[in-house]
Amino acid sequence: MNPPVNSETLELMRTKERDAMTPNDYLYAPQGLDTREQVRRMLDAHNRLRRSEGVWLPDLTWDMALEHYAQAKADYLAHFNGGALDHNAGLLNPGWGENLFWCSNPTYYPPDAVQSWYDEKPDYSWSMNRCRPGCMCGHYTQIVWKNTLRVGCAAAFCPNGGGIVLVCNYDPPGNWVGERPY
């Protein structure tokens, strides 16, 4: 496990990343959209998929504390973890749910990450209340977890064209053993 990142190291990471990018591509892929528009699209992607479940799930709201943590985590994974996705690397998670995504395409569309997590739905067995053997489904169940009310996401570019890391954090967290997502 890597040591936690202190605030000085985190600020140095952010400064180096800011210096290497333009304002439009700091948070997400360079599509000429401002941060507010990207936030709206990420939130809309989550809520659209939650609504498609056929049961009532509350719409998520955007949370700046979750976004700031997600940015710190994405920065750490991109710059100090080689882009490798690891829930235990870097900052100590204060107990939020977390979905991680990596993409090699520098012009990816961020809501596609949310869709890729949701695409795990066929791998979740409602009758067994778990993932099908050999499959992953925890990203999907976190997105549709009935008690989750807030989300915050951020992304960071890996150095030398090493891809993009996207992190979304959720509060309250989901995926409690023995509980169904809804």
> Can you give the pTM of this predicted structure?
0.80
pLDDT in tens, 88-129: 887 778 899 999 999 998 677 889 999 999 999 999 999 999
User: 158-163 long-range CB contacts below 8 Å, 24 or more apart?
Assistant: 158/78, 158/79, 158/82, 158/83, 159/78, 159/79, 161/106, 162/78, 162/82, 162/83, 163/83, 163/102, 163/103, 163/104, 163/105, 163/106
Helix (H) or strand (E) holding 17: helix 7-20
Q: What is the pLDDT of residues 53-81, one digit of tens each?
A: 999 999 999 999 999 999 999 999 998 88
Q: State the pLDDT confidence band at 52, using cuts at 50, 70 and 90.
A: very high
| Half-sphere exposure for 49 (CA within 13 Å, toward CB) | 23
